[in-house]
């Protein structure tokens, strides 16, 4: 019944009798929805199509009977109670109806019984469904489940039900256990200890493990648990017994304990062997250190004599002999030094110095050691320090330089064409005076196979045994590098692709020198390639960059720029869009294709053009330009753009024409621009173009007065965008203003600290 509505199907061929049945139910409080049929065919169709709560079937129908109605319901698998309603039914027929599956029978002259019969039939039907669900659940449980009727003594509790799993575990079929008392398990030897200790009436028993016997006498490890089913406060009606076969679990536990015992013995033996191995390693390291020192003394004399001999008057043939002495002597000294380093590391005698040094100086010095070798192979060799990377550090610069030397030397050794790039950047900052510096050495060389990467950091190991013969080396360089990096509290990794190149990354922990800030100028100039056919414009850009940390190279057309870019390394390109021979759009596309073909990272290319329309901006972006600068370009705008795309802080724009009293107001002026940014963003959200126009107009008039020409340019652009209701352009200009304000604040901080 749903929502109090009783859905009834009446199999009745007398309409008046059907009305009497419905009337009896309604008088008893039922809200009845009834269907009436007299033919078996209609009855079967209705039963198959509709969900009824109860069926009332006349026993004697034309051409069929109420018993046949019961059979139809059963054949269709419908869980609907059927009550036979008849005018005269003998005891024998009444019993037959119940045996055939009818829920009840009611005489027509006693229809007052009908409501109670319907209620009982529906309730019993619900209970039957619940019983089926419970039986199915018990059948599916893998543990043995047994239900026993409670008795004053636990052993006298009578078994009334059990699932198939219980029979399978114990070996006893259900027919041999139903009706028995729980004491049966004591007499069969199953659960003896468990039941012997719990014979009295109980509330709940803990899980207990026992050693039991099945019906066939086989022994198994078992687990028992009994829980009571209560019928009221303090009363217990039934017990639920859970029984598990835990033989496999016990066997696994025993095997695990045995394995653990073996592992413990192996561990003790390993510790003993490790002690012997460490002692042997120390002895080997001490021997290598002693021999290295002994060999270095005569080797120094041999190399010194060869150097002195090379300064004397020698024939061409003798000079070649001396060159062989010098080259082989230097190679031998490298080998001796590596053996000495590895012996110190293994013996734990390598101490790190804690001295002041300049990171830029270390990188420049290290790069200088390899410039001639890289040039001889036609390779581009350069280094770059991130803009916010501290360079005044405290640590062991010699060990850092040795790691860099090993990695750069390998990169050049295994690279036949392309470039080698060294980069340094700020890593994790541990405190105000302690940080990690991240280093990256990238090449476009032969690469390392994936299956060899795991072994290249091991002693005397290389990616391929043939490499030693082809390229030379001992296989100690990377092992030493890894050990040195770990001593500096860092780690080293590599990513590589055969035929494309390799990138080694490592980190090292340093302290900052007192008074050092994390925003400092780099000492290495950044190379800028200017492609510009106008001598006047080229002169202006050169004048803007004079006195800065940028080195400018100038070419007069796109073809010359493309050739220059391919042959040399540049950090950024300023590209005029309208040039003879090859225009800027085509030159930019060809640069991007060349970078892709040579697996190069995209170099920032800033478009320079007098056309400020949005169509030209999109055209520049389509050909591969990183950003757009419109002519005539102001110094502040150019320097800010270079700073943004090279990731570094540049010197402050020239404000010599700004009166000192105005310069003192700059901090407050910049704070006000931060407030303007919030107002502009709110105006954008509300499409308040008058507010955008007003703020843009104010910015246009004030920027140049405070020495920020770029602010005035952005203000003009905002004013124009507001007039045309160009929301997209407004958003772009607001983001440009946000970047310009942040850069101006950073520049003032650096200038004040310097």
pLDDT in tens, 141-153: 788 888 888 887 7
Q: Are residues 591 and 641 in the same domain?
A: yes
If you average pLDDT over residues 297-308, what whole number do you get? 73
- Residue 517 falls inside a structural domain: no
Lowest-pLDDT range of 157-161, 326-330, 415-419? 326-330
**Residue 7: predicted pLDDT:** 92
Q: Is the pLDDT of residue 509 over 90?
A: yes
166 shares its domain with 235: yes
The H-assigned helical ranges of 158-228 are 164-170, 174-177, 184-187, 192-196
Peptide bond into 509 cis (omega under 30): no
How does pLDDT run across 316-325, given as a tens digit for each residue?
Answer: 888 888 877 7
| Residue 638 within a domain | yes
User: Whole-number mean pLDDT of the chain?
Assistant: 80
Number of domains in the chain: 6
Both 195 and 70 in one domain: the answer is no
- Residue 591 located in a structural domain: yes
Note whether 340 and 362 are same-domain residues: no
Of 600 and 334, which is predicted with more confidence?
600
Task: Assign residue 697 the CATH number of its domain.
Answer: 1.20.120.160
For residue 651, being part of any structural domain is answered with no
What's residue 190's pLDDT? 59
Q: Please write the tens of the pLDDT for every residue from 69-119.
A: 999 998 998 889 999 888 776 667 777 788 888 888 888 888 888 999 888
Q: Of 167, 173, 174, 249, nearest to 209 (Cα)?
A: 249
Residue 520 token pair: 């400092």
**If you write DSSP's letter for every residue of 234-249 in order, what string do you get?**
TEEEEEEEEEEE-HHH
Q: Is the pLDDT assigned to residue 441 strictly greater than 90?
A: yes
The CATH number of whichever domain residue 80 belongs to comes to 3.40.50.2300
Q: Are residues 506 and 362 in the same domain?
A: yes
Residue 77 shares a structural domain with residue 220? no
CA angle 493, 499, 500 (to 5 degrees): 60
612 or 350, greater pLDDT = 350
Task: Kindly state whether residues 240 and 255 are assigned to the same domain.
Answer: no
646, 681, 713 - which closes a domain:
646
Residue with tokens 């295994």: 414
Q: How far is CA 177 from each of CA 79, 188, 228, 239, rounded to the nearest angstrom? A: 31, 12, 20, 15
DSSP helix/strand/coil, 200: coil
pLDDT number for residue 645: 81
Which of 5-14, 35-44, 360-369, 608-617 has the least mean pLDDT?
608-617
Pair 14, 60: CB distance under 8 Å: no
Instruction: List the structure tokens of 694.
Output: 């007003």
Higher per-residue confidence, 638 vs 518:
638
Q: Residue 232, by phi and psi: left (phi above 0), alpha (psi -120 to 50) or beta?
A: left
Backbone angles phi, psi at 655, to 5 degrees: -115, 30
Q: In what order do the strands lie in the sheet with 526-531?
A: 550-555, 526-531, 572-576, 605-609, 627-630
Name the band, by pLDDT with cuts 50, 70 and 90, for residue 600.
confident
Least confident of 11-20, 464-473, 709-718: 464-473
Same structural domain, 364 and 340: no
pLDDT tens-digit readout, 200-257: 444 445 667 888 888 888 988 888 888 888 876 767 888 888 888 999 988 998 889 8
User: What is the reported pLDDT for 471?
Assistant: 46
Q: Which residues contact 501 (CB under 8 A, 6 or more apart)?
A: 415, 418, 442, 443, 444, 445, 447, 599
Residues 359 and 501 in one domain: yes
Q: How far is CA 650 from CA 105, 522, 626, 745, in A?
A: 102, 9, 19, 12
Q: Is there a contact between 674 and 741 (Cβ–Cβ < 8 Å)?
A: yes
Is 520 inside any structural domain?
no
Last residue of a domain, one of 320, 347, 374: 347
Q: How many residues does the chain have?
A: 754
pLDDT at 472 over 50: no
| Claim to verify: residue 86 and residue 185 sit in the same structural domain | no
Is the separation of the CB atoms in 18 and 61 below 8 Å? no
Same domain? 290 vs 337:
yes
Which of the two residues, 301 and 480, has the higher pLDDT score? 480
Residues with Cβ within 8 Å of 581's Cβ and at least 6 positions away in sequence, in order, are 557, 558, 559, 560
173-186 confidence digits (pLDDT tens): 989 999 998 888 76
| Boundary (domain end) residue, out of 110, 132, 154 | 132
Q: Output 706 or 140, whichever has higher pLDDT.
A: 706
3-state helix, strand, coil split of the chain in percent (to 5) is 50, 20, 25
Task: Say whether both 500 and 547 belong to one domain.
Answer: no
Q: How far is CA 293 from the centre of its chain?
A: 50
Q: Is position 518 within any domain?
A: no
**Rounded Cα gap, residues 23 and 694, in angstroms:** 85
Return the SS3 of 610.
coil
Both tokens of 21, joined, read 């049945």
CATH at residue 165: 3.30.450.20
707: left (phi over 0), alpha (psi -120 to 50) or beta: left
Kindly report the CATH number assigned to the domain that includes residue 301.
Answer: 1.10.287.130
Model confidence at 656, pLDDT cuts 50, 70, 90, reads very low
Report yes or no on 653 lying in a domain.
Answer: no
Predicted confidence (pLDDT) at residue 717 exceeds the cutoff of 90:
no
Domain containing 447 equals: 355-512
pLDDT at residue 647 above 60? no
Place of tokens 């191995």: 277
pLDDT higher than 50, residue 519? no
- Token duo for residue 743: 């850069």
| In a domain? residue 713 | yes
């Amino acid at each position: 019944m749903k929502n109090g509505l009783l859905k009834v199907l009446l199999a009745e061929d007398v309409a008046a009798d059907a009305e009497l049945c419905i009337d009896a139910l309604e008088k008893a409080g039922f809200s009845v929805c009834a269907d009436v049929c007299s033919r078996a065919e209609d009855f079967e169709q209705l039963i198959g199509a509709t969900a009824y709560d109860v069926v009332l079937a006349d026993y004697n129908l034309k051409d069929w009977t109420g018993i046949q109605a019961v059979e139809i319901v059963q054949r269709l698998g419908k869980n609907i109670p059927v009550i036979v309603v008849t005018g005269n039914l003998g005891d024998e027929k009444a019993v037959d109806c119940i045996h055939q599956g009818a829920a009840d029978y009611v005489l027509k002259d006693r229809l007052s019984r009908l409501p109670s019969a319907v209620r009982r039939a529906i309730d019993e039907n619900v209970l039957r469904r619940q019983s089926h669900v419970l039986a199915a659940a018990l059948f599916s449980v893998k543990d043995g489940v047994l239900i026993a009727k409670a008795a004053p003594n636990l052993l006298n509790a009578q078994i009334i039900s059990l699932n198939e799993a219980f029979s399978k575990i114990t070996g006893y079929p259900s027919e041999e256990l139903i009706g028995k008392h729980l004491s049966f398990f004591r007499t069969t030897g199953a659960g003896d200890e468990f039941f012997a200790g719990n014979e009295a009436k109980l509330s709940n028993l803990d899980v207990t493990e026992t050693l039991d016997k099945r019906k066939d006498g086989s022994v198994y490890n078992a687990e028992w648990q009994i829980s009571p089913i209560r019928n009221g406060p303090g009363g217990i009606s039934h017990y639920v017994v859970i029984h598990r076969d835990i033989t496999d679990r016990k066997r696994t536990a025993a095997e695990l304990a045995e394995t653990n015992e073996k592992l413990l013995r192996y561990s003790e033996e390993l510790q003993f062997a490790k002690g012997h191995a460490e002692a042997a390693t120390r002895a080997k390291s001490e021997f290598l250190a002693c021999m290295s020192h002994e060999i270095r003394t005569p080797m120094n004399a041999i190399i010194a004599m060869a150097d002195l001999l090379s300064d004397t008057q020698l024939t061409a043939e003798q000079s070649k002999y001396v060159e062989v002495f010098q080259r082989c002597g230097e190679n031998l000294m490298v080998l001796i030094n590596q053996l000495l380093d590895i012996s110190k590391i293994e013996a734990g005698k390598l101490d790190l110095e804690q001295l002041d040094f300049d990171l830029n100086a270390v990188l420049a010095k290290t790069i200088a050691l390899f410039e001639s070798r890289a040039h001889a192979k036609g390779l581009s060799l350069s280094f770059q320090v991130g803009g916010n990377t501290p360079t005044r550090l405290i640590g062991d610069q010699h060990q850092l330089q040795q790691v860099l030397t090993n990695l750069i030397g390998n990169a050049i050794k295994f690279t036949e064409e392309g470039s080698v790039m060294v980069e340094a950047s700020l890593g994790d900052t541990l405190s105000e005076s302690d940080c990690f510096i991240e280093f990256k050495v990238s090449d476009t060389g032969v690469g390392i196979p994936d299956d060899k990467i795991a072994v290249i950091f091991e002693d005397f190991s290389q990616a391929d045994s043939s490499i030693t013969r082809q390229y030379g080396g001992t296989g100690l360089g990377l092992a030493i590098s890894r050990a040195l990096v770990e001593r500096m509290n860092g780690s080293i990794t590599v990513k590589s692709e055969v035929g494309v190149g390799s990138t080694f990354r490592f980190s090292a922990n340093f302290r900052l020198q007192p008074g050092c800030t994390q925003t400092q100028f780099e000492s290495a100039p950044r190379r800028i390639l200017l492609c510009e056919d106008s001598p006047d414009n080229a002169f202006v850009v050169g004048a803007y960059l004079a006195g800065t940390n940028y080195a400018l190279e100038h070419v007069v057309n796109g073809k010359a720029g493309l050739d220059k870019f391919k042959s040399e390394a540049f950090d950024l390109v300023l590209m005029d869009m309208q040039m003879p021979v090859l225009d800027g759009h085509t030159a930019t596309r060809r640069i991007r294709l060349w970078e892709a073909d040579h697996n190069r990272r995209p170099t920032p290319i800033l478009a320079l053009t007098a056309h400020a329309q949005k169509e030209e901006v999109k055209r520049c972006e389509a050909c591969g330009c990183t950003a757009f600068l419109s002519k005539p370009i102001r110094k502040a705008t150019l320097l800010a753009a270079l700073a943004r795309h090279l990731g570094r802080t540049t010197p402050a724009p020239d404000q010599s024409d700004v009166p000192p009293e105005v310069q003192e107001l700059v901090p407050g002026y910049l704070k006000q621009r931060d407030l303007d940014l919030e107002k502009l963003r709110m105006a954008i959200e509300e499409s308040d173009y008058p507010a955008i126009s007003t703020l843009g107009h104010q910015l246009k008039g004030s920027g140049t007065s405070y020495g920020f020409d770029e602010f005035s340019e952005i203000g003009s652009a905002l004013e124009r965008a507001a007039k045309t209701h160009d929301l997209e352009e407004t958003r772009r200009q607001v983001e440009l203003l946000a970047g310009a304000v942040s850069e101006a604040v950073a520049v003032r901080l650096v200038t004040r600290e310097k």
